[in-house]
Amino acid sequence: MTLLSIFNDTATDAERQWLDTKLAAATPAKLAAFVAAPRFIARRNVPGIPDWTMDQLARVLLITSLPTEPEDAYVKAIQTLFDTAELYEFVALYSALPHLTYPGRWLFQATEAVRSNMGPVFDAIAFGNTYPADYFPEAAWNQLVLKCIFNDKPITQITGLDQRANQTLANDLSNFAHERWAAGRTVPADVWQLIPRFMNETLLADVKKLAQSPDERDRLAAQHVIDQTDYEPAKRLSVTR
């Protein structure tokens, strides 16, 4: 289903009529409608798109209906929205990134969202969003994943998590684990799914520790690494039952 069909299936008659009118309007009216959308579209959940609301979906549809030529005018229009956005406008803008033309033009804004202290903004770029996996350089990708882990957010909701795993991130996860363990704190078990392809002696020691942990989640994580890795010293490990 397209985003528009999802909207139409859930919207009221008045909401559909308002959006249809704005989608057919000129660019200035569309930009004004982006700001005004919550006055006409309720902020209720969208069936089939976790964590999206109807006003957010309407805003995404308005952005993606903008004329894409000439490129400079298109980029300027969207940049204006970024420059003046409030919280939920930012959420819509970051949700729209995978659907925008000229994806490389939005890399700065996307990486800025990773540094945001506004939880909904960070979540909009981090979870269920294909843009980071498709366009982030390795350093920005690793920062996104590590920030999720530092803040106890669910990395399993990051699109492309396994495909973008890398040696630097695996090493950083080991350092993070050592800091947590030294402070007497636990490490989320799901972070270890990112290390099987990048095993080395340091990570092997971490897996040994997990394999002997009294926490069943740690032992399961160790077994997952053992099952998935091609690193022979790790494959010879056994997990405490």
* Residue 230 confidence (pLDDT): 96
What single string gives the DSSP state of each residue in 66-116?
A: S---SHHHHHHHHHHHHHH--HHHHHHHHHHGGGSSSGGGGHHHHHHHHT-
Structural domain boundaries of the chain? 165-241
User: What does pTM read for this prediction?
Assistant: 0.93
Residue whose tokens read 């989640």: 217
* Residue 184 confidence (pLDDT): 92
* Residue 241 confidence (pLDDT): 74
* Residue 32 confidence (pLDDT): 98
CA distances from 173 to 21, 145, 187, 214, 218 (A): 50, 10, 10, 21, 15
- Alpha-carbon distance 231 to 87, whole Å? 46
State pLDDT tens for residues 15-37.
999 999 999 999 999 999 999 99
Kindly give the parts of the chain with pLDDT less than 50. none
